[in-house]
């Protein structure tokens, strides 16, 4: 692997140098093991430790098949799906791999006794499989996390509707938390030239998800002037939703849970901020009963901040904890757009506030290739910036995932795979210089202390 990194990082490196490299027969990867899939049975989610299930091990290099590309991964990032995978929740991801494998052909290779996870990467194309024309050895790329087959008609209007749509590195094998990765050519996007490897690897999944969820007509179709209530505004999804709202002429109302996270939202340009921990919202009186007075208190606080207006859009992902409040506070005719249920997927809300006020709930999931391309273009043009707070080495991936599991991170968490150090990979230094102030402003400061409250501690 050293030769490979040297060829990529050499100042006079040309694609032919990369194309001439001998591809190693195996590589180091963050894997889950099928034989351990029941290791947490009977253990509460909060007591599960990702470092117990995640292993760094050598795995054989796959040969790229038709339409596939093998990539040298310089850096990757942790997403919340990495947390779900490592906790084997709600189901071990091996169930996804088995189902994929049953398609046969190239898909059968994904059903292995180990799962290489990870749904983001920045790196360099090493080898393209038969039929790939657009991408060549030496190309610097990031990967979009959606893998589709598109053999049926269903996905041809919106690839997210393909019955065989999967999240790479979660529902497929050969993910990005590794030295090498196998992707479909239709997942690749050009790497932003002004960013380092770890910066470039961090926005992908969350930025494209937030883009569809908030901006395009497949999601909320945000327009200028909209008030957007953003839960977790200093987290992965939320830090991009906040930027997209600001860049699109909307007004984000950012919900966070600490003064440091409020500061990050402020540095991104948000003015209306709610610290849910400081203001002590408790939407659930007990496990079964929600407190409507608390919904109202949140609604009043939003009106106080906006000068009497309600959110046109609520950007939802905490789920059970907040969903009742989200439906309540949306304006008459407003949209609650959801892509997740971190705090529980059995949502409860009072339907009278939905139908009588003609609100709509929209489900959104990741983004199709075109949406991802557009979201990536905003990064490449320096209109949206990475919100990376800390980068771990591949060996420390367990700690990196733990920080998300404990909600003890800010913005995004990166992982160095082949990159020997942070700060490498910039090929447009002048462009970077022009955006340096913004890049630094948007970079999330790592939390002051690493053991912040558990999810339960901040959930109310």
Smallest gap from Cβ 405 to ligand NAP, in A, equals 9
Residue with tokens 């139908």: 355
Q: Which is nearer to ligand NAP, 169 or 236 (CB)?
A: 236
3-state secondary structure of 67: coil
Q: Do 386 and 426 contact (CB within 8 A), yes or no?
A: no
Under 8 Å between Cβ of 90 and 84 = yes
C-alpha to C-alpha distance for 93 and 98, rounded to whole angstroms:
9
Residue 26 CB, shortest distance to ligand NAP, in Å, is 30
Q: How far is the CB of 1 from ligand NAP (least distance, A)?
A: 29
Q: How far is the CB of 116 from ligand NAP (least distance, A)?
A: 19
In the complex with ligand NAP, the residue whose CB is nearer, 209 or 391, is 209
217 vs 224 by CB, closer to ligand NAP = 217
Q: Which is nearer to ligand NAP, 207 or 227 (CB)?
A: 207
Minimum CB–partner distance for residue 271 and ligand NAP (Å):
17
Q: Which is nearer to ligand NAP, 59 or 183 (CB)?
A: 183
For residues 363 and 349, what is the distance between their CA atoms, to the nearest angstrom? 15
Task: Choose between 227 and 342: whose C-beta lies nearer to ligand NAP.
Answer: 342
Query: Where does this chain bind ligand NAP (CB under 6 A)?
Result: 79-81, 205-206, 209, 231-232, 234-238, 255-257, 261, 276, 317-318, 321-322, 339-340, 342-343, 365-366, 404, 407, 455, 458-459
Q: How far is CA 40 from the centre of its chain?
A: 25
> Considering beta carbons, is residue 115 or 194 the nearer one to ligand NAP?
115
Alpha helices, DSSP H, located in 248-380: 259-268, 276-279, 292-306, 323-329, 352-355, 369-380
State both tokens at 68.
Answer: 């596939």
> Cα dist. 68→112, 180, 184, 230, 352 in Å?
18, 13, 4, 37, 49
**Looking at beta carbons only, is 1 or 460 nearer to ligand NAP?**
460
CA count, 13 A, side-chain hemisphere, 351? 0
Residue among 227 and 407 whose Cβ is closer to ligand NAP: 407
* Rounded least distance, CB 412 to ligand NAP, Å: 7
Closest CA to 386 of 408, 404, 367, 413: 413
Give which of 246, 296, 236 is closest to 273, Cα–Cα. Answer: 246
* Cis, bond preceding 90 (omega within 30 deg of 0): yes
Q: How far apart are CA 127 and CA 138, in angstroms?
A: 9
Instruction: Give the relative orientation of helices 259-268 and 429-442 as an angle to the nearest 10 degrees.
Output: 140
Pairing of strands 55-60, 180-184: unpaired
Write down the least CB distance from residue 145 to ligand NAP, Å. Answer: 8
- Provide the minimum distance between the beta carbon of 450 and ligand NAP in the complex, in angstroms, as a whole number: 15
CB of 369 to ligand NAP, least distance (A): 14
Q: What is the DSSP string of 70-83?
A: EEEEEEEEE-HHHH
């Amino acid at each position: 692997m050293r030769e490979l990194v040297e060829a990529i990082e050499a100042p006079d490196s040309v694609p032919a140098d990369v194309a001439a490299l001998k591809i190693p027969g195996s590589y180091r990867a963050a894997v889950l093991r099928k034989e351990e899939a029941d290791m947490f049975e009977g253990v509460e989610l909060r007591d599960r430790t990702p470092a117990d299930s995640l292993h760094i091990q050598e795995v054989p290099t796959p040969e790229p098949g038709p339409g596939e590309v093998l990539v040298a991964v310089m850096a990757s990032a942790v997403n919340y799906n990495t947390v779900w995978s490592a906790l084997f929740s709600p189901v071990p991801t091996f169930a996804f791999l088995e189902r994929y494998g049953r398609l046969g052909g190239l898909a059968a290779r994904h059903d292995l006794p180990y799962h290489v996870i990870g749904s983001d990467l920045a790196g360099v194309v090493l080898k393209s499989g038969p039929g790939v024309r657009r991408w060549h050895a030496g190309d610097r790329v990031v990967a979009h996390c959606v893998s589709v087959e598109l053999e049926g008609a269903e996905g041809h209007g919106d690839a997210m509707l393909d019955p065989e749509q999967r999240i790479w590195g979660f529902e497929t094998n050969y993910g990005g938390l590794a030295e090498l990765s196998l992707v479909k050519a239709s997942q690749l996007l050009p790497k932003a030239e002004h960013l380092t490897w770890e910066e470039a690897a961090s926005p992908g999944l969350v930025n494209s998800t937030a883009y569809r969820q908030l901006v395009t007509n497949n999601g909320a179709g945000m327009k200028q002037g909209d008030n957007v209530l953003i839960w977790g505004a200093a987290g992965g999804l939320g830090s991009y939703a906040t930027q997209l709202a600001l860049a699109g002429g909307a007004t984000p109302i950012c919900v966070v849970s600490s003064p440091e996270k409020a500061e990050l939202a402020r540095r991104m340009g948000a003015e209306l901020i709610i610290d849910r921990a400081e203001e002590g919202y408790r939407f659930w009186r007990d496990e079964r009963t929600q407190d409507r007075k608390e919904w109202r208190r949140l609604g009043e606080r939003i009106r106080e901040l906006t000068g009497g207006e309600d959110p046109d859009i609520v950007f939802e992902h905490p789920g059970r904890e907040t969903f009742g409040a989200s439906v309540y506070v949306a304006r008459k005719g407003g949209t609650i757009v959801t892509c997740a249920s971190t705090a529980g997927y059995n949502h409860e809300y009072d339907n009278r506030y939905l139908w009588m006020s003609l609100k709509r709930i929209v489900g959104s999931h990741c983004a199709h290739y075109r949406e991802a391309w557009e979201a990536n273009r905003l990064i490449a043009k320096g209109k949206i910036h990475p919100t990376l707070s800390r980068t771990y080495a591949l060996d420390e991936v367990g700690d990196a995932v733990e920080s998300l599991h404990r909600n003890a991170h800010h913005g995004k968490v990166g992982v160095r795979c082949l990159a020997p150090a942070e700060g490498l990979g910039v090929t447009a230094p002048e462009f970077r210089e022009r955006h340096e102030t913004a890049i630094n402003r948007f970079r999330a400061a790592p939390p002051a202390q690493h053991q912040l409250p558990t999810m339960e501690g901040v959930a109310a």
